Amino acid sequence: MLQGWGDEILRGLGMTLLVGGCAMVLAIVMGLLGAWAKLSRSAVARGAATLYTTVVRGVPELLLILIVYYGTPTAIQSLASSFGHDIRVDFNPFVAGVSTIGVIYGAFATEVFRGAFLALDKGQAEAARAVGMSRTLAFRRVVLPQVWRFALPGLGNLWLVLIKATALISVIQLTELLRWSDIAARNTREPFTFFFVAACLYLLITLVSQLALQRAEAWANRGIRRG
């Protein structure tokens, strides 16, 4: 199929989903940390979180990917040379891609979680404390499961944008869906065919994700009365 490029394209699709999945996990962790910092009483934590979201959302993703991918080895090398060591560092494009995309979307996840934490009635955490739960247990058993429900629509939206952003990692030579389509397009001289196939696969990811999200939201809202 596709002049023998079908399996490479599929492998690229798998890589796209893997990069997207790992970046999403990182984004959720960064988002929870960011929301916690933004809602904390410490002015330093709030300032750091605001700086993080302001910078990340004001600079194009492509530029951030280039800074991380080309900048990190340079930084490590110049740091090492200032201590008198001469080393060469190469950055793995997978790690560079996942960390950059994860950190960028972590800034958006911060706002999603912040809204979700604010949407949760304070009485919930207070009641959990009143029945004798420790702060961590109350957070784990009472706050987080409910915050999750409020955050789900925002996180779903974030995932749909994030998975499209992974296409940018093809610029740093990670062989994901777009990179394989590009290689196939150059070899077969049928660029339109292969980029169109890639576009359709991204659409497929979007469609399947939307269906999965509907089910996840229904599941998260089970036991909640409507109306």
Partner 1 sequence: MDLDFQALAEGLPRRPVDLAVIVESLPQMLDGLLLTLELTLLSLAIGFAASIGLALLRIQRNPLLWMPVYGFVFFFRGTPLLVQIFLVYYGSGQFRFELMDLGLWTWFRDAYFCAVFTLTLNTAAYTTEILRGAIRAVPYGEVEAARACGMSGALLYRRIILPKAFRFALPAYSNEVVFLFQATSLVSIITLMDLTGVARTLVSQTFDVYEIYITAGLLYLAVTYAILGLFRRVEDRWSGHLRDPRETPPKRRGPLAGIATPML
Question: Which residues contact partner 1 (rule: CB under 8 A)?
Answer: 50, 53-55, 57-64, 66-67, 70-71, 74-75, 108, 111-112, 154, 157-158, 160-161, 164-168, 170-171, 178, 181-182, 185, 189-193, 195-196, 198-199, 202-203, 206-207
Nearest 5°: phi and psi at 84? 90, 15
The amino acid at residue 59 is V
Q: CB-wise, 124 or 193, nearer to partner 1?
A: 193
Smallest distance, Å, CB 45 to partner 1? 16
Q: Identify the H or E element spanning 224.
A: none
Smallest distance, Å, CB 196 to partner 1? 6
DSSP-assigned states of every residue in 118-180: HHS-HHHHHHHHHTT--HHHHIIIIIHHHHHHHHHHHHHHHHHHHHHHGGGGGGGT--SHHHH
Q: CB-wise, 127 or 211, nearer to partner 1?
A: 211
Smallest distance, Å, CB 8 to partner 1? 16
Q: CB-wise, 105 or 125, nearer to partner 1?
A: 105
| Residue 171: Cβ within 10 Å count | 15
Smallest distance, Å, CB 111 to partner 1? 6
